[in-house]
Structure 1
């Protein structure tokens, strides 16, 4: 059985992060009375999109991270990809929630970097 300790650690952290992004949406929905769908409430919209963007990028990031780890890449490589993805997602969420475009942009760049680096590692492993 293959054990993926680094990917498992990041998956746990991302699961907790998803709950941390989701809970404020539920609270805001109750406050504004919009239990389903979007709303004209800007705060609710920001929270929904922050969570949505997280859900759009993290699954592929974790899958890629796990595959890099399975291919017996150096520990530092797996840790660097996971840390870059996590920091990117954190900065993106901060930028979205507090309307800080530069922070949001940096978060996306780090997210892209993690995905591209993971893809490069996977392609190198497949080619060798």
Structure 2
């Protein structure tokens, strides 16, 4: 028998798994770029490699607390729909942000929208965690 807690944990697992797959894809892009430009460490001053490295780095910097927050939401009894909302918003935000970094130079609408969605996801998670912790 599946309990509501298991549903929330399954939601956290789903979105965390998808974010980890995205990390692997972006990591592969960085490795490919380093091989192409014969750079063993860092970005070698190459703007495409710098963008790929930052797309990966930004994902790790924001997805990691998001994944932890989703697991904690499940642990404190938040409903699965809340975990799905946080996870979906975070994933879409990170995809849009990465695309903005990889395919546009300078400030881009993709980066702005991606960050806004990421902040909405993390703010929702933070408020949910605090609310479920004190209730």
TM-score by length of 2: 0.89
Matched-pair contact (CA < 8 Å) for 2:89–2:121: yes
5+ residue gaps, structure 1, are: none
- Counterpart Cα distance in 2 of 1:69 and 1:81: 12
What are the ranges of 5 or more consecutive residues in structure 2 without an aligned counterpart?
A: none
Q: Which residue of 1 aligns with 2:83?
A: 78
**Is the CA contact (8 Å cut-off) linking 2:72 and 2:129 kept in structure 1?**
yes
Runs (4+) of structure 1 moved beyond 4 Å?
A: none
> Deviations for 1:67-90, whole angstroms, at most 9, x for unmatched residues?
111222122111111100011001
1:45 to 29, 43, 50: 50
Alignment of 1:1-128 (within 5 A): 3=6, 4-99=9-104, 101-128=108-135
RMSD: 1.3
Stretch of structure 1 that moved more, 28-37 or 109-118: 28-37
Name which structure has the greater RCO, CA cutoff 8 Å, separation 6+: 2
Cα distance per residue 1:63-122 (max 9 Å; x no partner): 011111122212211111110001100110011111161111000000001001100011
CA distance in 2, matches of 1:109, 1:115: 10
TM-score normalized by structure 1? 0.94
The separation in 1 between residues aligned to 2:70 and 2:80, in whole angstroms, is 11
Q: How many residues are aligned here?
A: 127
